[in-house]
Each structure stands twice: as structure tokens, then as C-alpha cells.
Amino acid sequence: MTSGLFSGGSAPAAGTPGHVAGFLGGAVADEPTAALAARNVLSAGGNAADAAVAAGLTLAVTLPSRAGLGGGGACLAYTAGSASPPQAVLFTPPAPATAAGADRPAAVPMLARGLYLLHARFGRLSFQSLVSPAEQLARFGVPASRAFVRDLDVVAGPLAADPEAAGIFFKNGRPLGEGEMLVQPALAGTLGQLRTAGVGDLYQGGLGRRLVAAMPQVGASLTMADLRAAVPQVAPALDMDLGGGDTASFLPPPADGGLAAAAAFRVLRTNPGAIDLARAAALGTATAWRQGGGDPQALLASTTVPAAGLPPLPASASFATLDRDGNAVICVTTMNNLFGTGRVAPGTGIVMAASPRWLPPALLSAGMVTNRNINAFRAMAAGTGQDGAPVAAALALAETLRTKQPMPVQVPEPGRASVIACGNYLPDASGSCGWVTDPRDAGLAVGSTAAK
């Protein structure tokens, strides 16, 4: 495989889209602009982590119903050429220390810190360059996507009750329609502050103090101590040996949708048609974890399927990136409710996610398969769709491994799945790679084929 880099003096400079020729890799996201932002970063010479950061920040602008600076998420990241399985980057949005005086309890914002940690451990380009595209979209506007408008229509009534939200997401008293411009100048200012002053400013600087000061206006409670204590972590994934050197890795708790997906995947590996049993295993395992914690591997090893007992669960969003070298990242984000608390912190443009003490957290579900013998990437899948997310991720990953190609998988409602896979592994066989999003949804899969 060629390096994919232009030679000669006429090529765009590194960091500029078009710098890379030939095989770029691919990107999928539940909102099209985010997938395109990721592809631009791959084209500019960024790696999968860089592209994932760009996609995540773009989603905070284009799909604030499911991803935002006020929320959080979790990712799996694999380093090309490594015999080690992927690592998890966990930035699920926690509850503040107290909700005293809060009529609409908000979570502690985690997205910015989580994506910064992902970049610090795995990225290549400057973090500032990855913030800029999202900042420009917020400042100058982006056409409202079908994915965004669908979510907006669901909660338009409650969202209109907040003056800040109404000023952003409504036009002439009605919700924005598909293709109308979504302009967010306050959010652009916040992103600009993160770009120039650094992410730390939101957690221990002036931007954080402004956010805390705005909390009484949105009926929430948040302190600088809450922000300082909100630290993401890198942790081992939940690994499962598939034989032949292949390892399936899933998001670990507190992203317990990964644990649920692993439970479903274990069922589907031995009985591909047992979707109902896989769903029961997923939701029962998640219930057991939420009720009692414990060792996730012990829960997976149990031969007894726990009874499911989860309340209605919130929505999530997913995105994944693969670069030409075989670096791979897959992430799931949440606001713990569509548009979180339904309120925007004045002067910041930040939609506040719902506290997990107020509403149950989402099942963040994603898995990835790599091979330790040839140090290569094989496949990854994410699931969204409330309690359908874990079995969606598991079924998509299992079917991709079975067919050796990414295929649109009709996962059970309300689940949705996105996949990136290389049937003959990467970096050795770029021509076998492909990417798909769920055909029932409004996301986008985009990339390039191998150079001829």
C-alpha cells in the first residue's frame, strides 16, 4: 500500500484537506456534517484520533440533542501496529456533589475533557486546529440536518420554554426545519475560548466560573469543585478472545452499554439467530451491574441470565474513524436525555446534560476487533437507540465478522448500528475496508478507496 501522501511542491500543506492522496480510511457519524469533518481531518494528514475529536466537537454543534459540551461519552481507541487491544477513554457525565436548589439537575460537563484526553493519548495534529471547524460552524451556521430536526420535533414543546434554547433552535416561534440555518454565536465563543485558552479554562478558569454563575438561571447546581473533580480516564477495555489472534474489545463500566453489548455478543457468537436471548442477556447484565456493580468479567462469565429491570433509557449518538495506517477510534456520546435538561446556560451556548441522579444514563455501546498476531485492525461497531443499543452493537459486529464485510444490519428496533470494517485487516489490505451507517437513520459513512 502506498503511503498516501502527495509528493512535490503543489500539494496542500500538512493539516490542510487534500494533503493525503489515495486511501484515507473512513468515518461514520450519526449526523452527516460530523462525518465530513472527520474525513477532512483524515485528508489533511490527521490520524483516527484527530478525526474523532473533530467529529465529536462538530456533533456538539450539529446534534446538540445527543452530543454537547454539557454532556459526555466514551471511546475505544486502537493504535496501529500494536499487539495490545484497544483502550477505553471514559468521560461519562457525572452528577455534581449536590443538587441543592436545582429544579432541573444537570450533569457535570465532560465532552471537552474527554476528547482532549483522547487527543493527548492518541492524536497527531494540534488540538486547536481540530476545534476550529466546529467553532466556525457554530459562528456562521450550519444547515439543520434531518437527524437534528427529528430530535427537535420530539421535544420542541418543553425546549421552547427555555428562552436561551428557543432563541437558538426556533425561528419565528417554530422549530427549525431541515436545511434552515442553525447559528450558535454563544457556543462559538465558548469553542473559541477552548481553542485559545485551552480546555482547562472550562474546568478551572474563567469559562468555568461563567458556567457556574449561569447555573441558577437554568435551575441547576454546579460548583468549581465539581468541574475540577470531573476527570476522564483511560482504562482497559472488556476483552474477549475469539481465537486466531482476534480479540473483541468492548467499552467497560461506567460505560455499561459496552458490558451489555459484550453479553449479547457472547450469545450471538455461539447462536447467531438468538437475538431475543442476546437482548435479554444484554439488558439483564446491565441491570445487574447498575444494581450491584461487581466484576464485569464475572458477570459476563455467569451462566445465569439476570432479569432485566431497566427504566426507560435516553438517546445516544455514535461516530467512528479509521485512518490509512490502521489506527481506529469508535465513540458514543450522550446528553442523558434529548437536549439534556432542555436548558442552555446563558452566555455559553452550552446545552446542559441531565444529571444521572435525575434521569438514568444511556447505555453507551461499542465494540472493536483487533488481531494480536498480525497487529492489525479488523472491525468496529457502535449501537444507539435506548435499550436497543447493546444488541445493535453486538449484532452488527457479529454479522460483520461472519460475512467479512461491513453490511447494513437490520438490528431490532429501537436500535441502530454503524460499522467500519476491513475484511482482510488493516494496514495490510486497505481494499477490503468499508463503512456503513444504519439505513433507517440520517447519518453518513464516508471515506476513500485504495489508490490504483
What is the mean pLDDT of each successive set of 10 residues along the chain, which is 452 residues long? 44 76 93 98 97 98 98 98 96 93 94 98 97 98 98 97 97 97 98 98 98 96 97 98 97 98 96 95 96 93 85 96 97 98 98 96 98 97 97 96 83 95 88 92 83 30
Q: How many domains does the chain have?
A: 1
Output the pLDDT for position 365. Answer: 98
The sign of the CA dihedral 223, 224, 225, 229 is positive
- pTM of the shown model: 0.95
Residue 230 covered by a domain: yes
Residue 19 covered by a domain: no
Q: Quick one: how far is CA 92 from the chain centroid?
A: 11
Residue 449 covered by a domain: no
Q: Which residue has the cell 455514535?
A: 318
Nearest to 295 by CA among 249, 235, 252, 232: 252
Bridge partners for 445 per DSSP: 28
Residue 421 covered by a domain: no
List of residues 6+ apart from 411 with CB closer than 8 A: 383, 385, 388, 391, 392, 395, 396, 417, 438
Residue 18 covered by a domain: no
Query: For residue 324, what are the domain limits?
Result: 28-235+317-358
Residue 48 covered by a domain: yes
List of residues 6+ apart from 198 with CB closer than 8 A: none
Residue 340 covered by a domain: yes
What number of other Cβ atoms are within 10 A of residue 154's Cβ? 15
What number of other Cβ atoms are within 10 A of residue 295's Cβ? 9
> Measured between alpha carbons, how far apart are the two ends of the chain, in Å?
10
H/E run at residue 168: helix 163-169
Residue 344 covered by a domain: yes
